[in-house]
Structure 1
Amino acid sequence: MTTVKDTVHDHIEIDGVGAALLDTPAVQRLRHVKQLGTVRLVYPSANHTRFEHSLGVYHLARQALDHLGIGGRQADRIEAAAMLHDVGHGPFSHNLESLTHRRTGKYHDDVEELLDGGEVGAILREHDLDPDRVAGIVAGEGTYAGLVSGELDVDRMDYLVRDAYHTGVPYGTIDTERFVRELTFVEGVESGGDSPTLVLDEGNVQTAESLLLARALMNPVVYTHHVARISKAMLRRAAADLLEATATTAAELRRMDDHDFLAAVRDCPATAEISRRYDERDLYKRAVWAEYGDVPDRVHDADHATELALEREIAEEAGVAREDVILDVPPEPSMRESTARVTVNGEVRRLERQSPLVSALRVAQRNQWRLGVYAPDSATDRVGRAAAEVLGLDPDALVIEVRKAMPTTLDEF
């Protein structure tokens, strides 16, 4: 058995297949992938990694398995999936995933080939575990997969408290012990299905709401803070330019860690300027920061090719170089946690049906949504006016950044 001292869960005990997987290259690589990507440019202590998060997910999964009385090979599968659930992440976590998915067809939870070969595959087989079944759990498939990849999963429980701890933001605090203690499986909840579904036991509507609320409060101040979004958008541009300018493939990019990626963009002439700006925190600024209702449907619905065309049109209208304009259209607001199941008066119900808080948070989520157009500081006025013209935005309804000599609040930082 291996015991690890953790900032969030104190001592984590690792044994069995988890201990065997711990020192594999696939898991150790996660030491070099930041959990929150560029958020550290806003919160300097947010330097935690996917590695320590994976240990936390493993720890909570074991607690849940003990509470639920699940043992044997099924428990081993879930423990392995918990330890391995993030090995498919590319550099800077989710940040480059849309790019690599367009070119490889794989998301971070598509890990079949990563688990089938090498040391990971050998270890799983030594423990009489089928790599494909473990990969299926990571992808949310099969009985009990909801523990690792679902609406009430231990992945979500760990990252919320861990991200809150390392950023110093109090909003992500949830009672993980109560969550684990109140989890139960109920047969036949899905229409026409007999597979067990993970639910919170009777009397835990507020427990489920706390998860929803924590995620909703963390979103604007951490996950979608404008500095984090601008720096992420800049790195996505650098990644796309790297693939166009070099022999690097999307599959190779997907297997880089943060350090590999930053070294690659520093060494590539086509991406050197963005790399310099990122290294020196000389970031682009907001030329446009528009609310959901002020953005036309054609922009909300734009695919990647259309977004690139709009960027080029904005640059031409503003009289600046193409690389001086980045259009950042977030996905439609969603709230997966709202479909979590809770037991009320002996009946299993979706949280969105039971909790009036869900509707309020959906409204808040849409109100927090912003379309961004980013440009170098000297070009923000020109780019902002051009973007309003090209995108069909009402200039009077836009929130266009007014720069100050020095930041005075976190929101301005």
Structure 2
Amino acid sequence: MVEDDDPHGFFVPKALRGVKDVIHTSIPIHFHLNQFIDTLPFQRLRDIKQLGTSSYVWPSASHTRFEHCLGVAYLARCLASHLQTNQPSLKITNRDVGHVWDSIFMPKAIKGCEWQHERGSEMMFDYIVKNYKIPLSDKDVRFVKALIAGDPTQCDASEKPFLFDIIANKRNGLDVDKFDYIQRDSHMTGTSFSFEATRIVKSARVLDNQICYNIKDANQIYEICLRRFGLHKNIYNHKTARAIEYMIVDALLLAEPHMKIAERVYDPERFLYLNDYILNEIERSKDPELEASRQLIKRFRHRELYREVVWKAVEFTSKKAIQDYITSERIMEKAQKTVDEEGSEEPFDLTADDIIVDVTTMHYGMKERNPVDFTKFYSKKHPDKPMHAGPGDYSGLRPSIHAEILLRIYTKKPEYFGRVYDAYNAVLVDMSEEFSAGADTVPNTPTLASARTPDASSFETLPRTPGADAGDAGTGAEQKKKRAFGRSNSAMMSKNHFADVDRGYRHESPSASTRRMSTGGVAVAVVGDPSAIAVVTTFQPTADFSQLFEDGTEGAIIDAAPSRLKRGREDELQPPIEGIEVKRRKESAK
């Protein structure tokens, strides 16, 4: 246990060593911190990227959770030290500060695992205390676990409640974890957002058993919350990063029956080696059971990704309606219906599992609420009087709802890009009709036979703009239908014209296009039947295309330009030339 007079205590000026840091310049490491850093669980964080798949979009964002944890530890120490020095009446001890730091590491060690988060944190904490013989009493252990959970009720009532605002602030979301990652992630992605974390730390005072800040820093604190939203919107949830994340999850699911990855999280000894290198473990394996997983990993290594078909920013209040109504099953049902109506004999192997409906909530830190509304401030003239910031105390340029929903539709098979987009829009049409009619139920789907759609009146609508209907096209009945569910819901169910493509559009990644152009592409037609056109691309320039026709039917090369094959636009190919047989031919890139 760390006592106040411990010669190796947290506040001893002389550090055992220092760590260079790109954000905080230099981080001193003292004896108590060193006990935790030099353990296998903490060193494991060197092998886990802080931003996960974001490094596939921003290559420089390859920093790990190891340096983030050190940064959070440093800021926590600064904040606790500042409070102890400037408010001696709080009676903050070395024990308090030391255990505040203990609680930082544990959630980071298992971040990303949705399985009983608190249970996993406690498992790893107990592992360190036991295996590294950290001298902690039962009371101290309960205190650290309570800090991890952010719940003061899990420890003795004598513990100082304001300490829970430092690490995992459930009151307003403002804590040193955010102060570090907002700066660090911004810097490493080249989208720098600078603020003086030490200034915010030195602004802190404990009043009414909670951490308050100087009112002159209210705008800066709001900007920190705004930046958090920006990082989630533009960096963490980037369309490509999300696509790769889905591919990695699918690869792990394919490997799970053979590798039993999920079981490792319950065993601390095995969990220590569960990190980003799990993909390399799969790739190195020669086990036939992992072939499907290896092929999927190879696919995203080659940048042949799941593709975002369409996106839409939606009102936060519409989240449940989207989740209930826009499903992969319903989109698949519409796509299949279109194929059946066309009577096409072409193979159609799209399934509901090949369609991803991604619904992401992005906010300032407190869902739809403004975190500043839950933060108290003081002023220089009234340093001991905590108050909430009111109108005029800081900028009034802020939204009424501090959250929104980002809806994205992905396809795992880019060749059906256009069909998925067309089917999604068909679902929107049905959704609009259901809401405008005030129906209580939504149409049956294979998996949502009894799903219910919230009534349109349950949505919060925006005030109408005078004359907004004047320029709208459509009949009076259509105008009435639009007004029935308000402007915000009308936008939710409207078509995204920026993503508009034809039903036959087939997306091709730039890397795949480059490889194909360098090796050639060939369009082949059956001689004597100009309507029977088969479009073929190949990565083997010397392929014998006569093998395409098992019955020996002659064919002709009618177009070797890769650009003509990019979208599979067979209708634009010139008629075949009679009497020219298909032969070996290497196509030049154009």
Note whether the superposition's TM-score is higher than 0.5.
yes
Letter in 2 for 1:88: I
Q: Are 2:68 and 2:184, in contact at CA under 8 Å, matched by a contact in 1?
A: yes
- The one of 360, 364, 387 equivalent to 2:399 is 360
Which residue of structure 1 aligns with residue 419 of structure 2? 382
Letter in 1 for 2:135: E
- The one of 43, 60, 65 equivalent to 2:80 is 65
Letter in 1 for 2:21: D
Q: Are 1:266 and 1:275, in contact at CA under 8 Å, matched by a contact in 2?
A: no
TM-score, reference length from structure 1: 0.79
- The one of 118, 132, 152 equivalent to 2:142 is 132
2: distance between equivalents of 1:109 and 1:350? 38
Q: CA 1:324–1:186 in structure 2 vs 1: closer, same or farther (change >3 Å)?
A: same
Q: CA 1:80–1:386 in structure 2 vs 1: closer, same or farther (change >3 Å)?
A: same
Which residue of structure 1 aligns with residue 124 of structure 2? 114
Instruction: Give the deviation of 1:63 after TM superposition.
Output: 0.7
Letter in 2 for 1:139: A
1:396 aligns with 2:495: yes
- The one of 168, 188, 213 equivalent to 1:149 is 168
Instruction: Give the deviation of 1:330 after TM superposition.
Output: 1.5
Letter in 2 for 1:175: E
Which residue of structure 1 aligns with residue 245 of structure 2? 232
Letter in 2 for 1:386: A
CA RMSD after TM alignment: 3.5
Range moving further from structure 2, 397-406 or 39-48: 397-406
1:206 aligns with 2:228: no
Which residue of structure 1 aligns with residue 386 of structure 2? 347
Letter in 1 for 2:20: K
Of Structure 1 and Structure 2, the greater helix share is in 1
Q: CA 1:38–1:397 in structure 2 vs 1: closer, same or farther (change >3 Å)?
A: same
1:50 aligns with 2:65: yes
Which residue of structure 2 aligns with residue 335 of structure 1? 365
Which residue of structure 2 aligns with residue 191 of structure 1? none
1: distance between equivalents of 2:29 and 2:73? 8
- The 5-angstrom pairing of residues 11-410 of structure 1 reads 11-69=26-84, 70-89=92-111, 94=112, 97=113, 101=114, 104=115, 106-107=116-117, 110-117=120-127, 119-123=128-132, 125-128=134-137, 130-142=140-152, 143=161, 144-150=163-169, 151-170=173-192, 172-187=193-208, 196-243=209-256, 245-246=257-258, 248-252=260-264, 255=271, 256-264=274-282, 267=285, 268-292=290-314, 300-302=322-324, 309=329, 313=333, 319-322=348-351, 323-331=353-361, 333=363, 335-336=365-366, 337-338=371-372, 340-344=374-378, 346-349=385-388, 359-360=398-399, 362=401, 365-366=403-404, 369-390=406-427, 392=430, 396-397=495-496, 399-400=498-499
Which one scores higher on RCO, CA 8 angstroms, separation ≥ 6? 1
Q: CA 1:302–1:130 in structure 2 vs 1: closer, same or farther (change >3 Å)?
A: farther
Secondary structure in 2 aligned to 1:215?
helix
Letter in 2 for 1:185: V
Secondary structure in 1 aligned to 2:361?
coil
Q: Are 1:67 and 1:180, in contact at CA under 8 Å, matched by a contact in 2?
A: yes
TM-score, reference length from structure 2: 0.57
2: distance between equivalents of 1:355 and 1:110? 41
Q: Are 2:82 and 2:201, in contact at CA under 8 Å, matched by a contact in 1?
A: yes
Range moving further from structure 2, 291-300 or 52-61: 291-300
Structure 2 stretches lacking a partner, 5+ long: 1-15, 85-91, 153-160, 340-347, 380-384, 432-492, 502-506, 512-590
Letter in 2 for 1:371: R
Question: Percent of aligned pairs with the same residue?
Answer: 23
Secondary structure in 2 aligned to 1:288?
strand
